[in-house]
Structure 1
Amino acid sequence: MKTLAFLSFLFFGFVMALPGNFNVTTPQQVEAMDKVAAYNQAGGFTTAAENNTENGLFGPCKPVTMIYARGTGESGNVGGKNSPGPAWFAEMRKVMGEDNLTVQGVNYEANLFGYLKGGDPEGSQNYYDMADQAVTKCPDTKLVLGGYSQGAQLAHNAARRYTNEMTSKVVAAVMFGDPYAKHTLGYIPTRKVMTICHEGDIICKNVGTASAHLTYAKDAPEAALFVMDMLKQN
Structure 2
Amino acid sequence: MRISISLAAAAFLASSASVTAIPVQLDASAACPAVELISARGTTEPQIPGSYVLNRGPLAAIARQVPNTAIYNVVYPADTDFNTGPIIGANDLLARLNSRIVACPSTKFVLAGFSQGAMVVQRALPQIPTAAASKITAVIMFGNPNFDASGPCADGTAKGRGHRGTPIPAEWQPKLRDYCNSGDPVCAGGSNWLVHAAYGNGAAANKAVSFVVSLL
Distance 1:33 1:165, change over 3 A: farther
Give secondary structure in 1 for the equivalent of 2:109. strand
Runs of at least 5 residues in structure 1 that lack an aligned partner in the other structure? 1-6, 8-30
Instruction: Provide the aligned length of Structure 1 versus Structure 2.
Output: 195
2 CA distance for matches of 1:123 and 1:140? 25
Native 8 Å contact 2:115 2:143 kept in 1: yes
Q: Residue 228 of structure 1 aligns with which residue?
A: 213
Deviation of residue 86 (structure 1)? 2.2
Distance 1:185 1:119, change over 3 A: farther
1 CA distance for matches of 2:208 and 2:97? 20
CA RMSD of aligned residues (A): 2.7
2:73 to 87, 93, 105: 105
1 CA distance for matches of 2:196 and 2:121? 18
Native 8 Å contact 2:54 2:200 kept in 1: yes
Distance 1:193 1:39, change over 3 A: closer
1:96 and 2:66 equivalent?
yes
Q: Residue 56 of structure 2 aligns with which residue?
A: 86
Superimposed CA distance per residue, residues 28-74 of structure 1 (whole angstroms, 9 cap, x where no aligned partner): xxx4454022443x5751699x9979642324112211111110011
Give secondary structure in 2 for the equivalent of 1:204. coil
1:61 and 2:44 equivalent?
no
Q: Residue 12 of structure 1 aligns with which residue?
A: none
1 CA distance for matches of 2:79 and 2:37? 23
Q: Residue 73 of structure 1 aligns with which residue?
A: 44
Deviation of residue 84 (structure 1)? 3.0
Native 8 Å contact 2:13 2:194 kept in 1: no
1:195 and 2:178 equivalent?
yes
TM-score scaled by structure 1?
0.73
Identity %: 25
2 CA distance for matches of 1:188 and 1:111? 30
The amino acid across from 2:89 in the alignment is G
2 CA distance for matches of 1:87 and 1:120? 22
1 CA distance for matches of 2:85 and 2:167? 16
Larger Rg belongs to: 1
Native 8 Å contact 1:67 1:104 kept in 2: yes
Distance 1:197 1:58, change over 3 A: same
Distance 1:52 1:150, change over 3 A: farther
Deviation of residue 79 (structure 1)? 2.3
1:210 and 2:193 equivalent?
yes
Superimposed CA distance per residue, residues 102-158 of structure 1 (whole angstroms, 9 cap, x where no aligned partner): 211111111111x2x174322221111111122121111111110000001111111
2 CA distance for matches of 1:126 and 1:65? 15
Superimposed CA distance per residue, residues 198-225 of structure 1 (whole angstroms, 9 cap, x where no aligned partner): 1111211234433321110113332211
Superimposed CA distance per residue, residues 177-201 of structure 1 (whole angstroms, 9 cap, x where no aligned partner): 1112223445642120011101111
1:148 to 102, 109, 114: 114
Distance 1:230 1:44, change over 3 A: closer
2 CA distance for matches of 1:141 and 1:185? 24
Give secondary structure in 2 for the equivalent of 1:72. coil
Distance 1:120 1:141, change over 3 A: same
Which structure has the highest helix share of the two?
1
